[in-house]
Structure 1
Amino acid sequence: MAGSRTYAALPIATLLLISGCSSVGPFAPEDGAPAGDIDVAAIPDAVPRIEPRSRSGNPPNYVVNGRRYHLLDTAVGYRERGIASWYGTKFHGRRTSSGEPYDMYAMTAAHKSLPLPAYVRVTNLQNRRTTIVRVNDRGPFHPNRIIDLSYAAAKKLGIAANGTGLVEVEAITPGHPPAAPLQVTPAAPTASASTGTRPGLYLQVGAFVSRHNAERLQMRLAQSNLGRVYIQPTNAGDQAVYRVRLGPIGNVERADQLAETLTGLGYGEPHIVVE
């Protein structure tokens, strides 16, 4: 669900540009689902069409909670996997970053860097449900979240009850081909790894061109007893890269706890990986 919004330290100009409804910071207990049930099957997906950019919500970059975000020049080719959250009653009717009122019963979403508006197909990787939403807001600004869905979209995808879900987000731009499929390199086999088509959840703590440096980090993390640590070799062009990861991790809550612990231990902010 969406989180509390704290903008007091931001300049007024920045406030006007990004003052949307989506989540900033810790989860807000006062946000939630509407009192009555809704039939999301009767709510149609958003229909992609060519639109001009909204007059608000599209600065080249902006700062929230001390972090600077940069907008993409175009939505064409965008595809990403990660964690989705949703926002509901607390923000219903409030102004989004694009200037439109937030409607928790519409098929919309918030994103940190896509141009506003944009259209994306969201797939729940745990049950394969899909829906198309119109991105008209900024967020989520909770660490390791890639999209904040309207309540209706979250319910249609089957993640409203849990509050979060593992998803793939793919931009749909009329007149342009879909983004290339993500290149997913499976983790090294392990008894606890995810099986079948269910996605695995991992934290990437570092990536190195030197295997020796990757092994040094792996040893340090192993001494912290945070779970299984492994090195995933891959290639970036002609360059070998060695990624140091923890996982698989059982659920989003545990991933959030581990990420906070790693940051507290001085490892920086790890990156969520869904494969």
Structure 2
Amino acid sequence: MFGLVKYVRVSSAFLICCFLLTSCSEVELLVHATKQLSRDTEEEIKNHNQGSPVPSGYKVGRAYNIAGIWYYPYHDPKYDKIGIASWYGEQFHGRLTANGEVFDMNTVTAAHKTFALPSIARVTNLDNGRSLLVRVNDRGPFVEGRIIDLSRRSAQLLGIYQKGTERVRVEFVELASLKNVASNDSAYGLDSIEGKVFQQEKVEEALYQEDSLSDSIITDKMTYIQLGAFTSIKNAIRLKDKVSNFGPIQIIKSINNNNNIFKVRIGPLSSGAEVEKVLKNLSDSGFPLSNLIILK
């Protein structure tokens, strides 16, 4: 009898551990989903040491669902939008960001729902004209109408800290260096802007390596239009930039006979009407429909 009780206890502990392990990603998303605008006090909070964990590679990330809304991260070098900025601070200070860095509310960082991580973005306060380069290394804000969540330091520099929210313009600038994190006065950290040594083309290619294919969600309820497939990432990016106005664009990497293949797709498209609309727009623009592949 004692042996049976011991077995049941061990089995229960094992099942609980399995449950916790499989729930990790969901818990992480829940943490990001519960970000709320908070009024932090002016008291000084100890900075983390420079050299906090920096990710080993760039991450576009998987599509994810927050409060019933699907978000599809993708690299958009032409991103330029106007919306509402908010900020977050002490509640998340010291926690890991979506790409594995340590969030320090006293550094020039921000969160965005779809940017490749980490990226550099220019945020302009449309009320006072102040402009700031920020390091985007987290996901959010998940509040309707808001397009970027600033660290407390970023909000202070832009003149948004006291008001809490403000209308801003957000522009993608470039992918951020993996060598260092942001500081309290620069999105580029301790190194000067002139000291950047990484090449943008190699960085962009890194975006579509390793897990890009598995990060793309294709279900029987979604349709994708494949526009082309290339052995060169540069050609794939060139096509992506040309058709960026026709819908959400993805570049998917696959391997065929030990060769990298980069596929340019529009999607996900949720209805036949949406597919027809995109096809018509492509046709009207002179894009040869004979080159297209419909993926369902």
TM-score by length of 2: 0.45
TM-score by length of 1: 0.49
Higher relative contact order structure (alpha carbons within 8 Å, sequence separation ≥ 6): 1
Larger CA Rg, structure 1 vs 2: 2
